[in-house]
Structure 1
Amino acid sequence: MTASRTSAGELSALRRLARPFGALAAVALPTLYVSAVDPNAPGHYPTCPFLQATGWWCPGCGGLRCVHALSHGDLTAACHDNLLAVALFGVLGVLWVRWAWAALTNGAPPRIAFGLRGTVALLALLVAFTVFRNLPGGAGLAPPLV
């Protein structure tokens, strides 16, 4: 009887982990592509429309290069390409671990309350990052031109 309970418990745990691991696979597949196809080589990816229209780096500019550098273990280049993306990836990693742990232990995903203040703070951070990386003093936060 305990063998059937154990296998049923393991099956239940696997079912609860299906969504976190499905999300991980959905992120891993494009990451593998960006890891294999270098964004630093011209012609592989489209140019950012914001950069084309304004000449300014948007908050996402350098994100593919950042992912490529991280997938090759180059944290310094990743931080230079898009420091905000590196920080975001760290936060998302922690949130994924919390989600997987919650799915494994109790099955309920953790609740994240962001609210209006959090949204305004995030938008202010994005605007500040965008402006600063386009100023001469923030040139170190801008990805290199290809």
Structure 2
Amino acid sequence: MTNFHYVPVAVDRAKQRTIAAVIWMGLGSIAIFLFFFNPASASNQWFPKCPFRMVTGWQCPGCGSTRACYQLLHLHPVAAFKLNPLMVMTLPFIVYGFLGFTKSAITGKPHRRIFIPPIYLWAWLVLLIFFWVFRNTPWYPFVS
């Protein structure tokens, strides 16, 4: 079996700073919008419905993520966890990646990356599949 290694593409610092600024402005704009508009409200017309759920009637692994982010912005982590536990557990790793990219863009020094052995990535994929299956079952605690 061959080992595949990620080889970063050389991007100049000005371009990295621009990318980081666009990412943070976009995330900030989305967070402000999400803070003021509840995606769970009955009059919600701003947030798209899940296409997978509209077609099949089942929840995908991402269903509830927008509502969970709304709850996190309002400092309700338990409510967010009930809506989408996988997203809440994965979010710190995503934020760490964005912060590391931003630090690298500002300082010019590569950020320290967390080495995740492939077995953990496969385990996360298996967890994702189990989460997808079990969240569509009628048994507690998976029932929505």
Q: TM-score of the superposition, structure 1-length normalised? A: 0.69
CA deviation after TM superposition for structure 1 residue 63, in Å: 0.9
Opposite residue 51 of structure 1, the aligned amino acid is R
* Equivalent residue, structure 1, for 2:98: 96
Corresponding residue to 2:51 among 49, 52, 57: 49
Long gaps (5+) in structure 1: 1-12
Distance 1:24 1:40 in 2: 25
Unaligned runs of 5+ in 2: 1-12
Which residue matches 2:84? 82
Aligned: 1:137 with 2:133: no
The farther-off stretch of 31-40 and 44-53 is: 44-53
- Residue 140 of structure 2 aligns to a residue whose secondary structure is helix
Largest Rg, 1 or 2? 1
Using the size of structure 2 for normalisation, the TM-score is 0.70
Q: Quick check: which one's helix share is greater?
A: 1
Q: Identity over aligned residues, as a percent?
A: 26
Return the offset for 1:77. Answer: 0.8
Question: Using the alignment, how far apart are the partners of 2:51 and 2:102 within structure 1?
Answer: 36
Give the RMSD, CA atoms, in angstroms: 3.0
Matched residue, 1:7: none
Taking the TM superposition and a 5 Å limit, the aligned residue runs for 1:114-125 are 120-125=122-127
Greater displacement, 107-116 / 125-134: 107-116
Q: For residues 102-117 of structure 1, what are the structure 2 equivalents within 5 Å?
A: 102-108=104-110
**CA apart distance, 1:30:** 1.5
Amino acid at match of 1:77: A
Q: Which residue of 2 aligns with 1:6?
A: none
